[in-house]
Amino acid sequence: MSASQSASWPSGTPPWWTTAVVYQVYPRSFADSDGDGIGDLRGLLDRLDHLDDLGVDVVWLSPVYPSPQADNGYDISDYTDVDPVFGTLADLDELIEALHTRGMKLVMDLVVNHTSDQHDWFAASRSSREDPKRGWYVWRPPRPGTVGGTPGAEPNNWGSFFSGPAWTWDEATGEYYLHLFSDRQPDLDWDNPDVRAAVHEMMRWWLDRGVDGFRMDVINMISKDPALPDGDLRDGGPLGDGSPYFLCGPRIHEHLQEVHCEVVAGRTGLLTVGEMPGVSVDEAVLFTDPARAELDMVFQFEHVGVDHGATKWDVLPLDLRELKASLGRWQEGLEKTGWNSLYWNNHDQPRVVSRFGDNGAFRVRSATMLATVLHLHRGTPFVYQGEELGMTNAPFASIDDFRDIESVNHYAEAVAAGGDPERVLAAMRRVSRDNARTPVQWDAGPQAGFTTGTPWLPVNPNCREINAAAQRDDPDSVFAHYRRLIALRHELPVVAHGDFTMLLPESPDVYAFRRRLDDVELLVLGSFSGGRVSVELPDASQWAASEVLLSNLPGGVPEGRGLVLEPWEARVLSRAVGER
Ligand code: TEU
């Protein structure tokens, strides 16, 4: 039985987003129209042809709301406006209109696990213990028997994601507030019905304005175990891991069903995506089961953790078998119920061609191979700006070149703890989020055509070779290959809806799988090797007369080649099979 027959969609037909491709814009680094060195909405408006040419269906816009920018906009101080650095609400209205005219949709980033410490809600909440908004955030007294503000007096031992404790002492009111991220990002208390009502109202306000959905930031962290217990100690230090008490917490499904009911139900054509670090396949099935009315899809993290040691800063070499085991498990787990999102990159991940490919001699080949493997899975692919050009990690020279709060805090903490600065930096060059955030490389001119001013984060010097202008009309470019992959998903039902079977799970250098829908079968092969490899498939002879649907070799696969792959080659074969 094929997956399209087995998957259960309430209406009987798969939703529109099962054949869609999403493109993520990180506005700060996309295109700058006014020369202040920071990308903006008018810059994006000027570049919509690029997205149109690529053929994507949806734009996910990282936060453009007013923000002190402690975490580049993931610290919001006003949910219903646009930060002047990015433009105005009128620009945003124009963007919605322009995208809709071109047949694309706009999905906003929704950051409601926390606000900025500069949000009016938090200003009120911290003003006094009696303020009506005190209970909108998570305030707690010091640990019994300790003196507030002294080390170890925090209400529990949780560490924050951005180094240091997850609690900050407020001298004026004599309590601590919780922040899973930086101290500039206090967590909202979702147990408080007024908080939930305010969030629902704000979401409706955006939908009424014309946006088409939300990507929900760390949404599986909004429900905490009310006892806030200590976590197991991390790395032998004083801080504990609170994740068992805040990931997919006790009321998470209830809260998301309420969001669906209060905000989404009754509207059509929307997309809701939950970003969920640490989510399991079983939880993801619950979140995305259409019958439960929670979310359309989740952004999971398992496959981007395969090269992490004890922390993300301990970088391990890629073991392809683990990557396949992980993605294969998710394909299988969400085959009958629910839906996967597919991604290699976003604004938090290093560039995939530098991470899992070869960003030297085989940059184009390995970038197109990685794209092929990902886009031929079942799920909704997400392309992060610059990925479609094969952009690489950046050559950061010293700590002064980094801007990201996570990286900057990590360096300070690791070096203070006695770490060798050069080793700390070496890891940061590989995994820092700033790798994803260098400006988009539009052309070979000054500042890569990103800005007429000084960019907030330096342009990668490889922009002279790697840029959009050089690729747009080149049929062998990374850009052209992404365009073909996106078109394939739109044109071939087997790509969107076919079932998925992983092949050769034990091969250390070949990624191979089959897709099948009705009488069409695809074989997808990707080489993760810099040498030639032979693919040992038991049914190899059956593919001898098949059609080459897609190849990343200039000129295509040579006649009579057989199942031997060139370095970093990707090949998609198609054949007709008897109806099952
Ligand atoms: O990220 C969630 C998250 O947990 C991680 O990806 C985190 O950014 C970090 O890389 C862990 O090492 C989301 C946003 O995508 C991120 O940009 C924000 O900084 C974070 O939430 C807080 O809003």
CA of 213 to the centre of ligand 1 (A): 20
Is 54 within 8 Å of 479 (Cβ atoms)? yes
3-state SS, residue 99: helix
Residue nearest to atom 4 of ligand 1 (CA): 277
How far does residue 348's CA lie from ligand 1's centre (Å)? 6
What are the backbone angles phi and psi of residue 308, rounded to the nearest 5°? -95, 140
Atom 17 of ligand 1, residue of closest alpha carbon: 348
d(CA 92, CA 74): 18
CA distance 488 to 495: 7
Q: Please indicate whether residue 283, judged by its CB atom, sits closer than 6 Å to ligand 1.
A: no
404 CB within 6 A, ligand 1: no
Rounded to whole angstroms, the Cα distance separating 219 from 393 reads: 28
**Cα-Cα-Cα-Cα dihedral sign, residues 169, 172, 178, 184:** negative
CB 63 within 8 A of CB 111: yes
Residue 283 · residue 289 · CB < 8 Å: no
Would you give the DSSP letter of residue 113? S
Tell me if 515 sits within 8 A of 378, measured CB to CB.
yes
Q: By the 8 A CB rule, do 83 and 66 touch?
A: yes
Residue 571 Cα to ligand 1 midpoint, Å, equals: 34
Give the residue, out of 65, 72, 161, 343, with the most ligand 1 atoms within 8 A of its beta carbon, to mutate for a pocket test: 161
Give the position, in ligand 1's atom list, of the atom nearest the Cα of 71: 19
d(CA 96, CA 319): 42
CA-nearest residue, atom 5 of ligand 1: 348
Atom of ligand 1 nearest to the CA of 433: 10
Using a 6 Å cutoff on CB, does residue 410 contact ligand 1? Answer: no
Contact 384, 355 (CB under 8 A): no
pTM over 0.85: yes
Distance of alpha carbon 124 from alpha carbon 169, whole angstroms: 16
With a 6 A CB cut-off, is 436 part of the ligand 1 pocket? no
How far, in Å, CA of 259 to CA of 222, rounded? Answer: 12
Evaluate the CA torsion angle 412, 415, 417, 423 in order and state its sign: positive
Angle, vertex CA 258, rays to CA 253 and CA 263, nearest 5: 130
Tokens of 196: 């939930």
> Does residue 479 have its Cβ closer than 6 Å to ligand 1?
no
> What is the pLDDT, as a whole number, of residue 579?
57
Tell which atom from ligand 1 comes closest to the C-alpha of 347: 17
- Cβ(247) to ligand 1 under 6 A? no
**CB-ligand 1 contact for 28 (6 Å cutoff):** no
Angle between helices 320-333 and 281-288 (to 10 degrees): 40
Give the Cα separation of 289 and 303 in Å (integer). 21
Q: What is the DSSP letter of 537?
A: -
Written as six digits, the tokens of 190 are 């979702």
For residue 380, is it left (φ>0), alpha (ψ between -120 and 50) or beta? beta
Distance, CA of 380 to CA of 401 (rounded, Å): 34
The verdict on the CB of residue 218 being under 6 Å from ligand 1 is yes
Alpha-helical (H) ranges within 232-272 are: 243-246, 252-259
71 CB less than 6 Å from ligand 1? Answer: yes
What does pLDDT average to in each consecutive run of 10 residues of the chain (580 residues)? 56 94 98 98 98 98 98 98 98 98 98 99 98 98 97 97 97 98 98 98 98 98 98 90 98 98 98 98 98 98 97 96 98 97 98 98 98 98 99 97 97 96 98 98 98 98 98 98 98 98 98 97 98 95 94 95 96 87
Q: Mark whether 275 is an active-site residue.
A: yes
**Tokens 């020369």 identify what position?**
35
Compute, in angstroms, the gap from residue 181 CA to the centroid of ligand 1. Answer: 8
Q: For position 9, what pLDDT does the model report?
A: 83
Cβ–ligand 1 contact at 348 (below 6 Å): yes
Catalytic residue among 275, 294, 348, 387: 275
Whether 406 lines ligand 1, by a CB cut-off of 6 Å, is yes
**Rounded CA gap, 342 and 542, in Å?**
29
**For a substitution probing ligand 1, which of 218, 344, 431, 434 has the most ligand atoms within 8 Å of its CB?**
218
Q: What is the CA radius of gyration of the chain?
A: 24
Catalytic residue among 189, 217, 296, 302: 217
Q: Which residues contact 154 (CB under 8 A, 6 or more apart)?
A: 142, 143, 165, 166, 167, 176
Atom of ligand 1 nearest to the CA of 312: 12
Atom of ligand 1 nearest to the CA of 75: 23
276 in contact with ligand 1, CB cutoff 6 A: no
Find out whether 448 and 459 touch, Cβ atoms under 8 Å: yes
Residue 282 corresponds to which tokens in the numbers above?
């079983």
Ligand 1: which atom is nearest the Cα of residue 111? 23
The residue whose CA has the least distance to atom 8 of ligand 1 is 348
Contacts of 293 (CB under 8 A, 6+ apart): 257, 260, 261, 264, 265
How many angstroms separate the alpha carbon of residue 347 from the centre of ligand 1? 9
Count CB atoms within 10 A of the CB of residue 98: 14
409 phi/psi in degrees, rounded to 5: -65, -40
Q: How far apart are CA 119 and CA 207, in angstroms?
A: 22
Enumerate residues 6+ apart whose C-beta is below 8 A from 464: 444
